[in-house]
Amino acid sequence: MLKVAGLSNQKLVSPQLDGLRGAASLWVVLFHYLFFLNAASHLSLGIFQSFVSKGYLGVDVFFILSGFIISYNYTDFFQENLNYSNFSLFIKNRIARIYPSYFLALIVLLFFFLFGSLKPYAANFAVFDLKSFFLNLFMIQSWFFQYSQWSWNLPGWSVSVEWILYVIFPCLPLLFFKNRSLIFLFLVAGIAYFLLFYLIKTNEQFFIMKGMEFGIARGGLEFVIGCSLYLVSNKIEMLFSKNYTGDFLGLLAIIGIIFTTNFDYNCANELSIFFITLLVPSLFLSKKWLKAIFSFSWMGRLGKISYTIYVLQFPYQIISNHLFKHAPTNPAYVLHLAAYASQVALLVIMSSIVYVFYERPIREMIKKLKLPENKKSSLLDPKLTDQFL
């Protein structure tokens, strides 16, 4: 849980949102690994097949949740304390949060590239050249449409989008969220959702392949939705403090997500995103059993390493392909399912090790780096800015 320094009322991040982040990361990984497995063979997950095959929506959970949590911690602060020193420290801590594991994944992929292990992916749908490597190195590969196809660490496109949103965010409280009336906030969220709906409806591959060129629009609109939802939740929180309304709305959202991801019909993705937008504030406002479920200790631990899982999933997939390259191409269903589950489990274990022995120490090292200080400014405490992605 996190605090924000510089505010008179220091706030703590709801642990249930950390649990949601962990669940979303697993959803994405299950989808990607099923995608790679089905490229060579066909694995059926039975009643879970449709839900897992929509795991790309886990990225939308990340964007909405990121806007919600960043707004939760910093909207009030930056509206009153936007200056060079605070902005610099905010950006430094964002780099400390997202860059260590991102950089490790990129270096591992460079090693594989030098030994020719990325050729199958380059032949199909990804770009691995010097220009795209440097764009990835500086996390700006999604900022330019001409380089909008997948390159190097395939999930890194969303980190690139998140990076530009971090740079822009400190100005949002002054530009868009100075007016905190519920009508205005619902209007902002509604316009953002309408634009997102329009982009999805007019682009058949919005979430896959060709949809890469819409990465900034997708992430930006959902980030703004998340920011608006927090400000709405903050206004109505007292109404939910002693009842089950948040829990029931959250349950409705979960049922809606399960229903819309299990039926392939018009507007299914758009409706899924709507229920995701309902789930995030509902979990935040939950005070009873739904909060307890998403606050389980194992879900909290999964939430802590969720970003590490996300950025390491592609390098690990390549490692896994090498380790099991002599495995039967058409194994029995039980063995096939076991291999799928073990891949995900080993990724979680590897990510835990990387998080403890590499990511967390490097993050703390970056946070301790000194920046030029403006004595007149009220600085954010670098120890208290471990945000969600």
Quick: pLDDT tens for 66-92. Answer: 999 998 888 777 777 777 888 888 899
Measured distance CA(110)–CA(106) in Å, rounded: 6
Residue 4 has pLDDT above 60, yes or no: no
pLDDT at site 120: 67
DSSP for residue 214: G
Query: Which pLDDT value is given to residue 204?
Result: 67
In a domain, 296, yes or no: yes
Residue 373 in this model has a pLDDT that exceeds 50: yes
Total domains, the chain = 1
Q: Averaging pLDDT over each range in 58-67, 334-343, 372-381, which range is the top one?
A: 58-67
Question: Average pLDDT in the 233-238 region?
Answer: 77
Pick 242 or 367 by higher pLDDT. 367
pLDDT higher than 70, residue 254:
yes
How many Cβ atoms sit within 10 Å of the Cβ of residue 27? 21
List Cβ neighbours of 263 (8 Å cut-off, separation of 6 or more): 50
Decide if 287 is inside a domain.
yes
Judge whether 3 lies within some domain: no
User: CA-to-CA distance for 216 and 164, rounded, in angstroms?
Assistant: 8
DSSP 381: P
Query: Does residue 66 belong to any structural domain of this protein?
Result: yes
List Cβ neighbours of 112 (8 Å cut-off, separation of 6 or more).
Answer: 118, 315, 318
pLDDT at 156 over 60: yes
Kindly state whether residue 301 falls inside one of the protein's structural domains. Answer: yes
Residue 383 has pLDDT above 60, yes or no: no
**CB within 8 Å of 205: residues ≥ 6 apart:** 211
Residue 9 lies in a domain: no
DSSP E strands in 218-361: the ranges are none
Q: Which domain holds residue 283?
A: 15-384
Residue among 146, 167, 172, 162 nearest 218 (CA):
162
Largest CA distance in the chain: 68
Can you give the pTM of this predicted structure? Answer: 0.87
| CA-to-CA dists, residue 130 to 127, 137, 286, 372, angstroms | 10, 10, 48, 34
Tens of pLDDT, residue by residue over 318-368, are 887 776 665 555 666 677 677 778 888 999 999 999 999 999 999 999 988
149 within some domain:
yes
Determine the pLDDT at residue 12.
52
7: in domain: no
